Structure 1
Amino acid sequence: MLMDMWWMILPDTEAAAALADRLGVRDLDLLRHASGRPWLLGRWRGAEVVTAEAGDVRVAVLGRCLLTAEALRTRIARVRDVREVADAVGRVAGSYHVVATVGGRVWARGTASAACRLFTARVEGVPVAAPGADVLAGLLDSGPDQEMLAARLMDPPLSSTALGGRTLWRQVWAVRPDEALVWERNGAQRTVRWWHPPEPGLGLRTAAEEVRAALVEAVATCTAGGGTVSADLSGGLDSTSLCFLAAARGEAGLVTLRWEGVDAQNDDAFWARRAVAALPDATHLVVTERETPDWFAGVDGMRLATEEPVAWARDVAKQSDVLERVAAHGSRLHLCGGGGDELFTPSPAHLTDLVWSHPMLVLRRLRLLRFDWRVGRTAALRAVCDRGGYQRWLYRAARDLVSPPPNPLLGRLDWQPPPRMPAWATPEAVRAVAAVLKEAADRCPEPLAPQRSLHTVLLQVREGGNAIRQMNKAFPGPGYAMPYTDDAVVAAALSVRPLEAGVPGRFKPLLTEAMDGIVPRAILRRTSKGRYGADFHRGLRRRRGEVLALLDGSLLAEAGLIDTERLRRALHTHAPASEPAFLMHTVAGEIWLRSVAQGPHPRTVQLTGGAR
């Protein structure tokens, strides 16, 4: 991963060409429109970039895929209009941006999973797009948006789609992951939908075949070219499957790594050892509990080069240690199993989607769930029969930001668990977030999918895609790949009928069916899942002083968003142990603000509301 890799897209206009001249194109990598004007500029030499030309058509694919320049040239040979680009590059495995110029019109997209994204802004009146919001903020000398920063304190988060594409930076906007950016010849901008969630109508076996094919191709994009790749081998089904897929390809040497957790009841280690025995040709690393860095280690002095706050900031010391260890064994790319839980564990909301078409089956399964979650019959029935739309859900979310949360099952039967603000959020922060949610509801945004269950899964998948994008910005050394967020894998997993993918008594049946014959059946029979709550609690206990030190001179408090005295009292009374997500979002926001203020191009932290 090239830490200084960046690029931006320009329309085919004289104003854009003049802007490029002022940016100093002679010092940058550059591709041109057929007119000769600058089209794509930045620094990407040595990165995964494939380009091709055919007449006045220019296409660049930036990211992880198996396309060659010749294969791309063949695909675009018949393109005559920007609307045809999507089909020309469709069904190519991997995770990548596609940027095209056809006769002066521009078409560009990221991935539906948000692992690759596009952001837009107007720089000196010229529309510009880039894969990072911070790149555009740097051109604009733009500062953080206070309202959006306040919104990042709540848990669970909302999609940027619901929030109208607003980002953490004023004057910078996000393109919807499922939409492509289009610039006409005069620079006029619009977006068009290029991706739609599949209809969840396939039987388990058919869907498993599609998942298997998509995962095989996704991992092939990681191992192609030889060398050495590495992968997490926690013992869970998701990471274990990726290890066996990588080993089966045989094109790259495989290094696996497992760090030991502190919970004696966590049986991940047992299953990891079984996987190791079945992968004799790989190099296996185990980091003992004594060697594993604590969560929250070093947060008081941490600075991260990310475009937004990241909840995994509490885990930076551990992830840095992982990358250093696999890099020492020659790894060029590290595979993570993130996203598997979301794809292969159907959301309880599928019962709400199907209650009217399969009432008896849904009620039987709801009965099992409400016993597990200790929910009364009336409350469960009311929730599963609710037909309220997404707009109404947003209005309710704005109203209930500081209300006690409902039983977790009731939230999971809705569009998503309802967001709440932490106890240490200021009244001003709560009002700001309520205003953001009401404004979003007023626009009546459509959900990420018509079905509540698919909306929930896509929200979580895009959180994972966003996380892997930020990790690749923050860490030196081997890049990260998260194959479960590749669009083809996501589409295949979402195509299954949820009642078949969520059979009581079976653990992730879609994944186990897909991996049959690749992962040993003895491993696929696992029905438990490792938990790492004890690691969080120990890390917080040991590193509480560092978290408290982070609050000294808090920029979040200076911006009027948190009450540090309330947070300090909560830390001393162990209250965050029962609500870890709130603490992680707050720590992430504080680290991000300090990184912005003290980075190579400092931004003001005298925050103001976002531009509309």
Structure 2
Amino acid sequence: MSGDVWFAVLPDGAAGVAAAQLLRPWITDTVTHDSGRPWLLGSWPQGHVTVGVAGARRVAVVGRCPVTADTLSARMGRLRGVGDVERVAQGLHGSFHLLASAEGAVLARGSASGVRRLFHTRVAGVTVAADRSDRLAALTGASPDERLLAAHLLASPLPYPLDDRCVWQGVHALPSSDSLLLDAEGRATTRRWWTPPDPELGWRQGVPAVRDALSAAVGSCTAGGGTVSADLSGGMDSTSLCFLAAREQSGIRSTFTGARLVTMRWRSLDPDNDDEVWAARAVSRLPGAEHVTPRRDQWPLWYSGLTSLTDAAAPALPTDEPGPWVRDSARMTALADLMTGRGSRLHLMGGGADELFTTLPPHLHDHVRRHPLAAFARIRTQRAAQHWPLGQLLRQLADRRTFGQWLTAWADGLTAPAPASAAVVRGAPSTAWGVDLRMPPWATPDAVRAVQSLLHEAAETADTAEPLAAERGQHAALACVRTGGRGLRQLDQVTSAHGLPHAGPYLDDSVIEAALSVRVSERSTPGRYKPVLAAAMRDIVPADVLRRQTKGEYSTDFHTGLRRNRAALVGLFDGSRLADAGLIDEAAIRAALLGVHPTPEALRSFSSTLGSEIWLRSCRGSTRPPSTAIAEGAP
């Protein structure tokens, strides 16, 4: 199914019917409460929504999950009220929203990573929730929030703790760890449904759970049979997914009914990129799959075809918030055409594995305090290999700022010179709570002040002034998982509009739980690349394929794409909407685009700015429903 895929959730009361009437012009599908009032409205493909019924109670799973309506209905003997819905969901795999309706109450929640999100606002006197914020903005006539647009210049998707803010005024994003409860009058409260695991397991102890969870996650993708496709870059992450998806064809027993596999790899423009060598090695071990590798001249460059997105006759962008995906928009279209042309109903990608199976520098700050002897041995090894300056590193490790204090310092330093790239100057890695991102040089003082105000507010608010975990390493991993989840959500919105939904099995809740239960310091060790994932994939992925220690680098692709499309990119910012809003300086961004950049770091924020500019142009009336004529009594 091509086009928008979305749903809204309504309370089980008379006022909910009035809100449903406002949604009516968009909907093609409806699920009712036991009362007969509308519960779920929207547009979705067959099999996307599975509903279990037991008497007056309803439970719905929306998304990718191999569960049948009969199984859900049988499980509902455990449901005493909407507060018990997690008991019904125990053991379910995949990536999905979970919804319940019982005794006039409604519960709805998304996924821990944010791949599945929920938003809510007041409509016709009641709270209405939806998985797309632009649908709710259309109902209320909301405009984009310029402070949040300014934050999208900093990074997109937004970093924690700004990532639970919605870009539409008056529309609220539900935190991914919370569920939303609606009573019959449409009043809303929230409650926590997910808490990150404590990282207490050694890597050997954690491997079986990772293996089982990742196998089940991929199984939820192939369970429907037919044809699925997957990236096969040559890296461990995508390669592991391909071998899991192909187990049936490889003669290894699987719990799920297998699907035909098509793999997709695009060639880097850098002749020294060794992804091609490793991908070829994997391909030779997957004879039952079809392998697609377009020639370099058949695959669009980064930043290609962007003017088509801003053409006056172009349809609105498929995403409900800005995102850097526009850099790859031509590639996404090409991917969808190639894979749907071969019958693929779902495309798998390896995003999320880096966040789960490597350790970020902040873990050293924790490791020194927990296990000083082991930590200093590790630091000595890494410092010798990477030439970290000792004094700078010791200052990082001695930092005792709380998360709130770090947020305040980050806000105050938004325009300070960015640290030199490690590719240019060897420096010690930051072990702070997060990355001190800087506003781009083309951001106006008003934009800087807007982002500073958001960060200062977050530092002073009880919920957002707290880290995602008590220690920096686990917090950093969780923050990156959330960023990856929101990025995948946007990617799926884009490719679903072309008939090719995306799945990121590493970002499924069960995989996140299993991986983050392993001690942070043991998720990677000097001399071993992703040891937990490698051990989990033993006997599934060939041993020689798992021995890869390198990772592809794509600065050549960046420079070539920028050079070939520079004139079009400069032209996109003539009459800039962001400039009209007072957020960027047109002359400054033009100078940056026309300048010389030895590394991609110099334009690190450009993709986010580009995404915001194109998204803002696409908002021209795009949120209005096709008609406001409502049939009397229509749901």
Q: TM-score, normalised by structure 2?
A: 0.91
Change in Cα spacing, 1:249 to 1:170, as seen in structure 2 (3 Å) is: farther
Say if 1:155 and 1:420, in contact at 8 Å, map to a contact too.
no
Alignment of 1:216-235 (within 5 A): 216-235=215-234
Deviation at 1:376, TM superposition (A): 2.5
Residue aligning to 1:588: 611
Q: Distance in 2 between matches of 1:406 and 1:26?
A: 48
Residue aligning to 1:345: 358
| In the alignment, structure 1 residue 518 sits paired with structure 2 residue 525 | no
Amino acid corresponding to residue 212 of structure 1 in structure 2: R
Change in Cα spacing, 1:527 to 1:411, as seen in structure 2 (3 Å) is: closer
Q: Distance in 2 between matches of 1:26 and 1:328?
A: 28
Q: Deviations over 1:206-265 (max 9, x none)?
A: 211111111110111111121111111110000000000000044111111111101122
Q: What secondary structure, in the 3-state scheme, does the structure 1 residue paired with 2:121 have?
A: strand
Residue aligning to 2:439: 421
Give me the CA root mean square deviation.
1.9
Say if 1:350 and 1:452, in contact at 8 Å, map to a contact too.
yes
Change in Cα spacing, 1:599 to 1:36, as seen in structure 2 (3 Å) is: closer
Say if 1:398 and 1:433, in contact at 8 Å, map to a contact too.
yes
Structure 1 moving runs of 4+ over 6 Å: none
Deviation at 1:598, TM superposition (A): 6.0
Residue aligning to 1:32: 32
Residue aligning to 1:121: 121
Say if 1:424 and 1:563, in contact at 8 Å, map to a contact too.
yes
Say if 1:247 and 1:282, in contact at 8 Å, map to a contact too.
yes
| In the alignment, structure 1 residue 435 sits paired with structure 2 residue 457 | no
Residue aligning to 1:534: 556
Say if 1:411 and 1:418, in contact at 8 Å, map to a contact too.
no
Q: Distance in 1 between matches of 2:586 and 2:47?
A: 43
Deviation at 1:72, TM superposition (A): 0.5
Q: Deviations over 1:524-563 (max 9, x none)?
A: 1111111111101110011101111111111011111111
Alignment of 1:26-425 (within 5 A): 28-155=28-155, 158-159=158-159, 162-163=161-162, 165-250=164-249, 251-303=258-310, 304-371=317-384, 374-406=387-419, 412-425=430-443
Change in Cα spacing, 1:517 to 1:322, as seen in structure 2 (3 Å) is: same
Amino acid corresponding to residue 503 of structure 2 in structure 1: A
Q: Deviations over 1:362-409 (max 9, x none)?
A: 122223444555442222122123232111111011100011234677
Q: What secondary structure, in the 3-state scheme, does the structure 1 residue paired with 2:286 have?
A: coil
Change in Cα spacing, 1:560 to 1:532, as seen in structure 2 (3 Å) is: same
Residue aligning to 1:605: none
Deviation at 1:283, TM superposition (A): 0.6
| In the alignment, structure 1 residue 458 sits paired with structure 2 residue 478 | yes
Q: Deviations over 1:132-173 (max 9, x none)?
A: 11111111121100000000111486446x238321101101
Residue aligning to 2:602: 579
Q: What secondary structure, in the 3-state scheme, does the structure 2 residue paired with 1:355 have?
A: helix
Q: Distance in 1 between matches of 2:518 and 2:244?
A: 22
More deviation, 326-335/229-238: 326-335
Q: Distance in 2 between matches of 1:212 and 1:398?
A: 41
Percent of aligned pairs sharing the same letter: 46
More deviation, 492-501/522-531: 492-501
Say if 1:34 and 1:103, in contact at 8 Å, map to a contact too.
no
Instruction: Report how many residues are paired.
Output: 601
Change in Cα spacing, 1:391 to 1:296, as seen in structure 2 (3 Å) is: same
Amino acid corresponding to residue 487 of structure 2 in structure 1: A
Say if 1:380 and 1:410, in contact at 8 Å, map to a contact too.
yes
Q: Distance in 2 between matches of 1:601 and 1:38?
A: 22
Q: Distance in 1 between matches of 2:274 and 2:26?
A: 57
Q: Distance in 1 between matches of 2:353 and 2:78?
A: 37
Amino acid corresponding to residue 329 of structure 1 in structure 2: R
Change in Cα spacing, 1:157 to 1:23, as seen in structure 2 (3 Å) is: closer
Q: Deviations over 1:248-286 (max 9, x none)?
A: 044111111111101122100000010010001111111
Where structure 1 has 5 or more consecutive residues not aligned to the other structure, the ranges are 603-612
Q: What secondary structure, in the 3-state scheme, does the structure 1 residue paired with 2:369 have?
A: coil
Amino acid corresponding to residue 413 of structure 1 in structure 2: T
Change in Cα spacing, 1:295 to 1:583, as seen in structure 2 (3 Å) is: same
Q: Distance in 2 between matches of 1:378 and 1:68?
A: 59
Deviation at 1:22, TM superposition (A): 4.7
Deviation at 1:417, TM superposition (A): 0.9
Deviation at 1:481, TM superposition (A): 0.7
Q: Deviations over 1:28-83 (max 9, x none)?
A: 42222233322222223524111011122111100001110111011112311221
Q: Deviations over 1:162-221 (max 9, x none)?
A: 238321101101000011111233332111111111111111122111111111101111
Q: Distance in 2 between matches of 1:438 and 1:252?
A: 50
Amino acid corresponding to residue 356 of structure 2 in structure 1: L
Q: What secondary structure, in the 3-state scheme, does the structure 2 residue paired with 1:287 have?
A: coil
Amino acid corresponding to residue 449 of structure 1 in structure 2: A
Alignment of 1:486-565 (within 5 A): 486-565=508-587
Q: Distance in 1 between matches of 2:321 and 2:428?
A: 30
Amino acid corresponding to residue 204 of structure 1 in structure 2: W
